[in-house]
Structure 1
Amino acid sequence: MTTVETGNKNTGRIFIKGLRIALVLIIAGAIAAVLIKMRPHPTRRTVVNPVTLVETIKAHKTSQNMIIRAYGTVRSGENLSLTAEVRGRIVEMSPDFEEGIYFPKGAFLMRIDPSSYSLNVDRFRTEIKRLDAEVVRISQERKNLQASLIIVEEDLGLVKAEYERNQALAKRKVVSQTLLDQTQQRWLTSRQKAQEIENSLALIKPRINLLKAQRQSVLVQMKEAQLDLERTEIRAPFECRMAKKLAETGQYVTAGTKLAHLYNVGIMEVEVHIPPQDIVWLHFDSGGSVNLKGDPPARARVIFSAAGQKIHWQGFVSRTKGQMEETTRTLPVIIEIKDGHPGTGHPLMPGMFVTVEIVGKRVDDLYLLPREAVHEDNSVYVVDDGKVHIKSVKIFRRVDNQLYVKEGIEEGDQIITRFPGVATEGMKVRIKPKSDQTGASG
């Protein structure tokens, strides 16, 4: 009895609870219906598809020199081991004789003790003066002999005439034989004296020639001594910078002793390696050498970048090596820079890693486009009469962020450079004004 009553009570509670929930739902539905009927009706609007705003550039044909970019390390075009040419002790040295210091051509570097070399020059100079004096003395001797010969020849003529007269008188027994013999003796003596003078005169020229030969020999020795004296003073052979110092003041050196390593700052070189696809843009002559007389010549710009700054030097393609590199399959090209001091005053120094831009052959009828204007399928978006037209182009060459296009577009085409999304053929667009494009790009 108790169990039945409890079950009836639970059933009544569930019924009442369900009734309450149903009542709440009915009331909420009624309120929602009233609110829906009371809401204001929205104004009907016409939907307009937006027109995409794009940036463009106008295609213009141009002629361009193909720029070949490569990289390399600077080195000097002329290196020198400065050596002593004479022996002696270093008695003086430039206060700037230190590694890394720049020297103009002819600048004083050091001096080797010149004392003994100066004495040698003086000794040979004195010997030359002695020989010159001897030539003068012999020349005067010739004049004296010539004068004596005239007198002797006159005396010889008189004695001969007297002898011939006495001979005639002796035949007639007018003079004695003794007087005739005495006259003959004087004539023979005069003849002998004249002969001796003539012999002495004949030897004058060989004697003078011998002295002149001796003088020439001594002169050569003196010039060698003067050269040795000049070699005691060592100066910069060209515009240079010292790479390594090898000598000190007071050091005794001999001929051939290394004093320093110098390099010519007036001629610097960079060896760069040109890949096969860029070799065709170099100027070559009929012999296979780089043509320095091309139009334009094989100019090059050398760029050193550091701390966000770029320093430029002007150079030219000097030569190529005789063969391609077997490992890299590139062509070694030597760039020469004549002036290693740009306007900034910063010197071009060996060891610098630089970028080289070589001015290559000139190509006509090219369109230069930014890389972002050409899509992956080598197509461009051209705007004509407010609509997009998709054109396929032929890429002639890629350089950094620019492309050279040879075919596919025409003069004056408006090429879209930036497009937000994917364009379709015939899609309507509006070109952004140039002032807005400049502001956006800045």
Structure 2
Amino acid sequence: MKPNLTSTLRTLLRRALRIIPPLIALGVVVWLVRSRTGPVEVEPQEEARPMRVVEAPAVDLIPRVIGYGLVDAANTWRAVAEVKGTVVSVDQRLQAGQLIAQGTRLLQINPADYELAVARLQAGIAEAEARMEELDAETANMAASLEIEQSSLTLAETSLERLRELLAQEAIPQDQIDREQRQVLQQRLAIRQLENAIALIPARRKALEAGVAALDVQLRQAQLDLDRTVIEAPFDCRLGAVRIEKGQFLTAGQVLFEAFGTDAVEVEGKFRPEQLQSLLSEEKRIRLTADLSMELLQELFDLTVMVRLRNADWEAVWPARFDRLRESVDPRTRTISVVLRIDDPYTAIIPGIRPALVPGMYCSIELQAPPRPATVIVPRTAVHGDHLFVLDAEQRLRRRPVVPTLFQEDFAAIGEGLEPGTVVIVSDPTPAIEGMKIEAITDAELISRIRRQAEGEAEVRP
């Protein structure tokens, strides 16, 4: 019996060990569930996005654009030999780079042949004039002879009448009448010949006058050719390459040298059409038509022009004036050429500071339009097409439609839709959610920079 009892106790003990641990674990779980506390509720807070902002100022805007171009002489003289001949004298200053005053005799072509031609034609004219004087004397002689012949005719006709009366009385023979009548006819013939000769005098005079006129034209041409043997500077200039020397034989049409006027130079700057358009106010753009004269176009633009030449150690500036627009648009760059004129580029020389402005120099050109007062400006990056983003009084983002009128450098001018002092968001707010909270970070350096650019105090970039 004892072994059976022991076996039963062991079986019960094993079953109890299987049941008790799960019961204990279940009790612990129940206790934990009943003794735990509920979750703490936290009120949600809106997070503000940090962004750079500026207050839009109103400034006296000076529209400016930058272009580049090469300097060229306003007046260029290409000296060409107009007559042929040997060079007999050359001025010692006839060298490349020399400054020459107006009227300076630079070279002389041998004038001997042209002087002979002038003398020959002068002699021809003198001969023709002598023949005209001879014709005048001949005319006077013919007039006197005609008068005598007419008197002789009168006497002959009177004598013929008397003889006819005698013939009627049969006092003289018929042959005497015939001889007297023949004498009358000869007198009439002489008178007719004189009258014909006198009638031809005007035609002979016209022929002589025409000959004198032709000789006079030839004389003037010969005198011009003689004058052309001397080559003088037509204006104050600076010589370019010289291609002649003393003793050289020149042919008509041969290029001798080039010279560039020193009274003024031109700079042909290249600008995009939208750059030039930005210099005009809305009122002036309406007046801009294709049939405007150059004078009205100059008045319309009314530009202040500065030409700059930079080197590693210095910068030179020349005031210039708007002269004209070129006739066409560059087909490659789609730019318009604006020709600017600088007067007296040599008299404005400052040694070590401003050199002479000579052809071939590559310069920058700044065009300034008249100031536009009280113009609202914003950073260029703040404008997104036809709108920008501003902050309201609660520091929340709002979308504001605007009308930009000018984009220049780092700023844009706003024509409509924005009041001065409005806080404008400069940073990119993408994604831009209307009404989202903004942490404003004022960019004082940016607003200072665009203000100086707009008022013309900072250097403009292309």
TM-score, reference length from structure 2: 0.65
Instruction: Give the Cα–Cα distance (whole angstroms) in 1 for the partners of residues 376 and 161 of structure 2.
Output: 122
Shift of 1:247: 0.6
Shift of 1:86: 0.5
Provide Cα deviations, 1:208-254, integer angstroms capped at 9, x if missing partner: 11111111111111111011011111122344322210111111111
The correspondence for 1:164, drawn from 161, 170, 177, is: 161
Q: Does 1:146 align with 2:143?
A: yes
- For 2:420, the equivalent position in structure 1 comes to 410
Shift of 1:105: 3.7
Instruction: Give the Cα–Cα distance (whole angstroms) in 2 for the partners of residues 114 and 391 of structure 1.
Output: 89
Q: Does 1:173 align with 2:188?
A: no
Counterpart secondary structure, 1:280: helix
Q: Does 1:344 align with 2:356?
A: no
Instruction: Give the Cα–Cα distance (whole angstroms) in 2 for the partners of residues 217 and 324 of structure 1.
Output: 52
- For 2:306, the equivalent position in structure 1 comes to 301
- Aligned counterparts, 1:15-414, within 5 A: 61-62=59-60, 64-275=61-272, 277-282=274-279, 285-287=288-290, 292-306=297-311, 307-320=313-326, 322-326=328-332, 328=333, 330-341=334-345, 343-345=347-349, 346-360=355-369, 363-367=372-376, 410=420
**Unmatched 5+ residue regions in structure 1?**
1-56, 380-387, 415-423, 428-442
Instruction: Give the Cα–Cα distance (whole angstroms) in 2 for the partners of residues 325 and 282 of structure 1.
Output: 23
Q: Counterpart amino acid of 2:133?
A: V
Q: Counterpart amino acid of 2:362?
A: F
Contact 2:86 2:250 in 1 (8 A): yes
Shift of 1:259: 0.6
Shift of 1:198: 1.3
Instruction: Give the Cα–Cα distance (whole angstroms) in 2 for the partners of residues 240 and 322 of structure 1.
Output: 30
In the superposition, relative to structure 1, how do residues 210 and 160 fare at CA in structure 2: closer, same or farther (>3 Å)? same
Once superposed, what is the RMSD of the aligned Cα atoms? 3.9
In the superposition, relative to structure 1, how do residues 141 and 375 fare at CA in structure 2: closer, same or farther (>3 Å)? closer
Question: Which 10-residue stretch deviates more, 250-259 or 265-274?
Answer: 265-274
Shift of 1:160: 0.7
Contact 1:98 1:245 in 2 (8 A): yes
Shift of 1:396: 6.6
Instruction: Give the Cα–Cα distance (whole angstroms) in 2 for the partners of residues 102 and 111 of structure 1.
Output: 19
Instruction: Give the Cα–Cα distance (whole angstroms) in 1 for the partners of residues 87 and 148 of structure 2.
Output: 66
Provide Cα deviations, 1:303-361, integer angstroms capped at 9, x if missing partner: 223442423131315214523543x4x41323231524265234321111211112347
- For 1:20, the equivalent position in structure 2 comes to none
Contact 1:340 1:347 in 2 (8 A): no
Residue identity over aligned pairs, in percent, reads 23
- For 2:446, the equivalent position in structure 1 comes to none
In the superposition, relative to structure 1, how do residues 122 and 426 fare at CA in structure 2: closer, same or farther (>3 Å)? closer
TM-score, reference length from structure 1: 0.68
Contact 1:325 1:332 in 2 (8 A): no
**Unmatched 5+ residue regions in structure 2?**
1-54, 350-354, 389-394, 424-438, 443-462
In the superposition, relative to structure 1, how do residues 392 and 358 fare at CA in structure 2: closer, same or farther (>3 Å)? farther
Contact 1:340 1:348 in 2 (8 A): no
In the superposition, relative to structure 1, how do residues 337 and 392 fare at CA in structure 2: closer, same or farther (>3 Å)? farther
In the superposition, relative to structure 1, how do residues 69 and 342 fare at CA in structure 2: closer, same or farther (>3 Å)? farther
Shift of 1:134: 0.8
Shift of 1:408: 5.4
- For 1:9, the equivalent position in structure 2 comes to none
Shift of 1:299: 4.7
In the superposition, relative to structure 1, how do residues 334 and 269 fare at CA in structure 2: closer, same or farther (>3 Å)? farther
Q: Counterpart amino acid of 1:203?
A: L
Contact 2:79 2:256 in 1 (8 A): yes
Contact 1:392 1:408 in 2 (8 A): no
Q: Counterpart amino acid of 1:410?
A: P
Q: Counterpart amino acid of 1:228?
A: D
Counterpart secondary structure, 2:329: coil
Contact 2:56 2:420 in 1 (8 A): no
Contact 1:317 1:333 in 2 (8 A): no
Instruction: Give the Cα–Cα distance (whole angstroms) in 1 for the partners of residues 265 and 215 of structure 2.
Output: 44
Shift of 1:95: 2.0
Contact 2:319 2:342 in 1 (8 A): no
Counterpart secondary structure, 2:290: coil
Contact 2:122 2:219 in 1 (8 A): yes
- For 1:418, the equivalent position in structure 2 comes to none
Instruction: Give the Cα–Cα distance (whole angstroms) in 1 for the partners of residues 306 and 247 of structure 2.
Output: 46
Contact 2:86 2:247 in 1 (8 A): yes
Instruction: Give the Cα–Cα distance (whole angstroms) in 2 for the partners of residues 313 and 210 of structure 1.
Output: 64
Counterpart secondary structure, 1:81: strand
